Amino acid sequence: MQACRLSVQDLACRRGDRLLFARLSFALAPGEALQLAGANGIGKSSLIRIIAGLLPAYAGTVSSEGAMGLVDERPALDPHQPLGKALALWQQIDGPADNLAARLGLAELMDVPVRYLSTGQKKRAALARLIGQSAPIWLLDEPLNGLDVKGVALVESLAADHCRAGGICVIASHQPMALPALRQVAMQDYLA
């Protein structure tokens, strides 16, 4: 795993004319995982998108080293393509790394068009895309949505493996996650 590092300094986020959070800071070293916890609408997804560079921060800075991978509510897979082909597009872009499709329970689904997959199966497919990207920094926005009990345990073990290999996980979720050495940022402490 390539070297990675992620820190945010005095971050503030504004959506419309509302300041969602302010003065938020944290730093993560390789192998560390962080859960962003808080009620709906508190700014977890916005924070993830700011870290990913997809949304401008209202104030503060994000500095990072190493590629980032993102899983959010959109799987980013062509709905009309069979799952195998939709994932193959990302493998062509990201290189031929193993995407652990078998471990994710996707091996049987490769011929099924993505639009016929269930919510949980799409989430698993998005995780396969993420793993194939082999980015050291994982940004997971509500990764447990739509997953069954086994799926939740799977995400926890994948994230734990990723951290053990020297990666960083930032997880936005209102559900508790069982991860060794998981730090928490309670977003309500940073309300503006």
Partner 1 sequence: MIRVLLSLLRRDLGLLLAGGRRGGALLPVLFFLSVAMLFPFAVGPDAPVLARTGGGVIWVAALLAAILPLDRLVEPDLELGLFDQWALRGISEEWIMAVRIIAHWLSFGPPLMLAALPAAALVGIDGDKLRIVELGMLAGTPGLAALGVMVAAITAGLRGGAALGGLLVIPLAIPLLVFGAGSLATGGETGLALTAAASLVLLAMAPFAAGAAIRAGRG
CA 13 vs. chain centroid, Å, equals: 19
Helix or strand or coil: residue 51?
A: helix
Is the separation of the CB atoms in 136 and 166 below 8 Å? yes
Strand partners, 171: 35, 140
62: contact with partner 1 by CB under 8 A = no
Among 22, 89, 152, 192, binds partner 1 (CB under 8 A): 89
Residue 185: phi, psi to the nearest 5? -115, 115
Considering the complex, state which of residue 42 and residue 126 has its C-beta at the smaller distance from partner 1.
126
Closest separation in Å from C-beta 26 to partner 1: 20
From the list 183, 182, 165, the residue with the least C-alpha distance to 4 is 165
Footprint on residues 66-85 left by partner 1 (CB under 8 A)? 67-70, 72, 74-80
Count of residues that interact with partner 1, criterion CB under 8 A: 25
Helix or strand or coil: residue 30?
A: coil
Closest separation in Å from C-beta 57 to partner 1: 11
Closest separation in Å from C-beta 136 to partner 1: 13
Which stretches of the chain bind partner 1, using CB under 8 A?
52-56, 67-70, 72, 74-80, 89-90, 92-94, 129, 133, 135
